[in-house]
Structure 1
Amino acid sequence: MSATELAGTAPADSNRVGAIETRGIEPVPPGERTGGPGQLFWVWFAANISILGLPLGATLVALRGMNIWQALIVAAIGSFGSFALVGLISVAGKWGGAPSMTLSRAVFGPRGNHGPTLISWLSRVGWETVNTTTAAYALLALLAIVFGVRSNPVLTVISLLVFVVLTLVVSGLGHATLVLVQKWATYVFGALNVLVGAFLVSRVDWDAVAHAPAAPLSVVIAGIGVIAAGTGIGWANAGADMARYQHRHVPGGRIVAAASVGAGVPLFLLIGLGGLLSAGDNSLASASDPVSAIQVMLPSWMAVPYLLAAFGGLLLSNNLSVYSAGLTMITLGVRARRVVAVGLDIVLTLAGGVYFMLIADDFYGPFITFISLLAVPITAWVAVFLVDMLFRRTYDPDGLMDTGRTGVYWAHGGFRWSAVLPWLAGIVVGLLFTTASTSATDVWFAGPLADSWMGSNGLGWVAAFVVAGGLYLLAAVFGTRRATPEPRPADELTGVRP
């Protein structure tokens, strides 16, 4: 079996609802790109109606001392703005018809791309484990309320299995099914979120909200970074994965708007609600389990729709993440069809969920610290990739799949050092300002500049973005960016309209 076959050579009708998508990471031919920005809107909306947005808003008010108006401004800029970056990378998916990390081969070289791709895959699997474990807790709580069944190891494993099987059904079938499910499930679980949110608003301490003092401007600026890092930055390396099926004549601005508005609206509402709930009460901001923290605010009759909404929102987010992780795994070099790669990803996520729920003493603190640390290399990759888009409108489809010495993106031993070195420099500088810890006494890593203003406000990833992007831009402007052979006519192969 050839490498192309393993990547997923697909018949023309492979992208159908209910059928297993057989296409892997190879570019989608222009004739099969029939999607529009409306599809992307619902995909990103669905992926961001998770309850994990509530603790983000709670953190802004309870731990950073903002008033509600500052928190809402931060939520708007951080969520809409960070997903605008996701939208920009999605435009590259329209240009090249391939997943983000596959397109990244043209930027870093087939071997140089292994580092960013591995980081991307680790991040995806990490957040999938968070989703899976949190959803299992929600399902266990639901079973306890409805049937009076107490949690035990067998029921815990069953809860994990239910969640990963539901994820596998949608992510395994692929793009067309994923797009349809994300749209219609959003109506159901979105309505449940509205119902629960309306009840939670009645629990807000409006007097505390009205009299909360404003935080300094520096805190607001840092808060924007926190929201961006916790929302769009984590999805940036998946931007092109869904956009590769977009019609080549869809304007790039509409793709950016679909991602920014689609994700920004639910995030803004959830983050804002989290901020309201935390005025005068910091229990949500400091809770290690957001499911339980919110559940205690509700009567038992309202806890049922809340837990259903929590489970469904996490499932919709996981569907997209697992789909993307399967493509990333193939790009990394796993010689398997897309549906098999998705299955392998699910198995790893299930194993992680079992370990953290039944064996480990603590889950959220150490694990979220680890995957949050990955924001530094991910942001450095985003910077390099976006700068590269300034100088590129086409990707050679054969070159993206040819990872050997004859490939047009081979460069120097498979590395495009003009991109790899700025990426590495961005990581090093970003880590100088970064602290990785689960508490004040449990510090895993602290950079020498971690006590600076940028470091203490968690903005190491911003330093990584500026340095990586700036160095790569200099390399391009001053001619050190290695020219690659021109691809075949782009209007025939990929569609180049911005």
Structure 2
Amino acid sequence: MKVEKRSIDFIPESERHGRPRSLFFVWFGANANITTVAAGVLPISLGLNLFWSALSILIGSLIGAIFMASHSAQGPRLGIPQMIQSRAQFGVFGAIVPLLFVMLIYLGFFVSNTLLAAQAVSDLSPLSTAGNIALLGAACFLVALFGYQLIHRVQKLLSLISIAVFGIATLLALALPIEAGQWTAQGFNLVSFLASVSIAVTWQLSYAPYVADYSRYLPSDTSARQVFWYSYAGTVIGGSWMMLLGAVLAKGMVGFSDNVGLHLIGLLGGGTLLMVAFVLYGQIAINVFNLYGAFMSTITMIEPFSALKITPSVRAGFLLIICTIATGLCTLAQDDFLQFFLNFIFFMSYFLIPWTAINLVDYYALRKGVYRIADIFDPAGIYGRVNWTAIAVFLCTIALEIPFMNTSMYVGPVATSLQGVDLAWVVGLLCPACAYYALMRRRGSLLIKASQV
């Protein structure tokens, strides 16, 4: 298998291949890991019982995946990575603004995934914690280096294995002793329920910045409906299942949240080499997404200033630098991982949701999926160097979200008046969607009849 030769450039029709059903395995596999299981512990930590945890996870996943899959459907039509497509909304240089926030999300998830994996094997590996982290980083680097095709193959294999392994884990989890009242509607708490829904929504939205990267090689005449539904089904089934499993195990196993991976390995039969390998495989597979996405975003930020030719050696150099930085950040781990993880997910939502609203309104409501691809790479093109309208809407929305926020680090005045209900994600979705649509229509910039190259 050869190293992928494409990076952020347009994929010509002669290189397009594959079928949309492969996306089910990509996004099911993306969720089939202990990080998603750990996310399922969060509703329990908020005080919900299993009934309300399960309902919030399902509702949040079903809502969040709509936006995620809508981004995925852009891939075959445009043939370019997700974040470089943001240049059509923010401008060639202006797109750097949301990219900076997205880079933080990639690095945050890389750290979370790596820490959970290192924690899971800490008692079983002959290496130190730093050694385990370095080994995981090296494995992620190699898969990301080969790129698109290898990632698809890794995800398909992971999905097939995960169905069997997590199926067994689910049966074992359901057999654990659970305290009475966990599957009843008693003890409802609106604040905790809405927070849990927000977690599940944000979890699905976290894939939005790179979801089209894995559909962009499909032929341009691929059914957008099929791309949407295969992506939607894979991420909803995988994400909901893993989170529900995490919630059940949090109630059925004492101290489960202290070491999610190790407890899951113990549930599946102890520290066997096979189980350890499976857990590590899942963490490497999802971390490759973050490393691959960070590489794409880095090139997108640099390319307007320096026309780079991405050869295999250049690709390897950038990936190595990014992987080294991300791996180094793992040494700055927080002692209270669960609280760190909870704050990180809420942090993501405050920046991701305004970006996704702007991107989807532009693609589906304004430009109807019709773009001039060559101009996305040209600062002098129709999308310009900076679209101050989009940037102003994006940054103003983040400012508008602040009074509605409710995290352990900060609680806004509106959230306080609502007894802690966090509605920042609703503000982050509706405000930029309406404002961007109205302002861009007023500018009349959509009269341009762009055409895809």
Q: Is this a same-fold pair by TM over 0.5?
A: yes
CA RMSD of aligned residues (A): 2.7
Superposition pairs for residues 320-469 of structure 1, below 5 Å?
320-333=289-302, 337=310, 338-356=315-333, 365-366=339-340, 369-370=343-344, 372-389=346-363, 390-392=365-367, 393-403=369-379, 406-410=380-384, 414-437=385-408, 443=409, 445-453=410-418, 456-469=420-433
Aligned AA (1:264):
V
Matches within 5 A, 1:47-446: 47-61=30-44, 63-68=46-51, 70-143=52-125, 149=126, 155-205=128-178, 207-210=180-183, 213=186, 215=188, 220-229=193-202, 231-279=203-251, 283-284=255-256, 287=257, 289-292=259-262, 294=264, 298=267, 301=270, 306-333=275-302, 337=310, 338-356=315-333, 365-366=339-340, 369-370=343-344, 372-389=346-363, 390-392=365-367, 393-403=369-379, 406-410=380-384, 414-437=385-408, 443=409, 445-446=410-411
Provide, for residues 329-351 of structure 1, a one-character-per-residue CA deviation record: whole Å limited to 9, x for no partner: 11111666344332222111111
TM-score of the pair, normalised by structure 2? 0.88
Partner in structure 2 of residue 45 of structure 1: 28
Output the TM-score relative to the length of structure 1.
Answer: 0.81
Contact kept? 1:327, 1:341, Cα under 8 Å: no
TM-aligned CA deviation for residue 176 of structure 1: 1.0
Q: 1:140 to 1:282 in 2, by over 3 A?
A: closer
Q: Distance in 1 between matches of 2:103 and 2:236?
A: 24
Question: How far did residue 141 of structure 1 move?
Answer: 2.8
Alpha-carbon contact 1:123-1:371 (below 8 Å) kept: no
Instruction: Show CA shifts across 1:335-387 (max 9, x none).
Output: 6634433222211111112343xxx6565644763564132121100011111
Q: 8 Å contact 1:173–1:339 — kept in the other structure?
A: no
| Cα displacement (A) at 1:451 | 1.3
Tell whether the 8 Å contact from 2:405 to 2:423 is kept in structure 1 after alignment.
yes
Tell me the distance in 1 between the aligned counterparts of 2:215 and 2:277: 29
Are 2:117 and 2:283, in contact at CA under 8 Å, matched by a contact in 1?
yes
Q: Alpha-carbon deviation of 1:289?
A: 4.1
Cα distance, 1:370–1:213 mapped onto 2, change above 3 Å? closer
The CA deviation at 1:182 is 1.1
Q: Secondary structure at the match of 1:449?
A: helix
Q: How many pairs were matched up?
A: 443
Q: Deviations over 1:401-457 (max 9, x none)?
A: 113xx22211xxx221232221112111112212443xxxxx3x443334143x823
Structure 1 residue 304, shift from structure 2 partner:
5.8
- Provide structure 2 residue ranges, at least 5 long, that are not aligned to the other structure: none
Q: Give the superposition deviation at 1:214.
A: 5.0
SS at match of 1:40: helix
Letter in 1 for 2:300: T
Verify the 8 A CA contact 2:50 2:248 in the aligned structure 1. no
User: Which letter does structure 2 place at the counterpart of 1:65?
Assistant: L
Give 1:487's aligned residue: 450
Residues 24 and 450 of structure 1, relative CA distance in 2, 3 Å threshold: same
The 8 Å contact of residues 63 and 282 in structure 1, kept in 2 or not, is answered as: no
Q: Distance in 1 between matches of 2:104 and 2:15?
A: 30
Secondary structure at the aligned position of 1:36 is classed as coil
Give the superposition deviation at 1:326.
0.8
2:27 partner letter: W
Q: What secondary structure is seen at the aligned counterpart in 1 of 2:21?
A: helix
Q: 1:217 to 1:156 in 2, by over 3 A?
A: closer
- The alpha-carbon deviation at position 219 of structure 1 amounts to 5.1
* 1:482 to 1:71, Cα distance in 2 relative to 1, 3 A: same
CA shift in 2, pair 1:458/1:291, >3 Å: farther
Q: What is the rounded CA distance, in whole Å, between the counterparts of 1:26 and 1:178 in structure 2? A: 18
- The Cα offsets for residues 210-254 of structure 1, whole Å up to 9 and x where unpaired, read as 45625156654443222111x111111112111111221222121
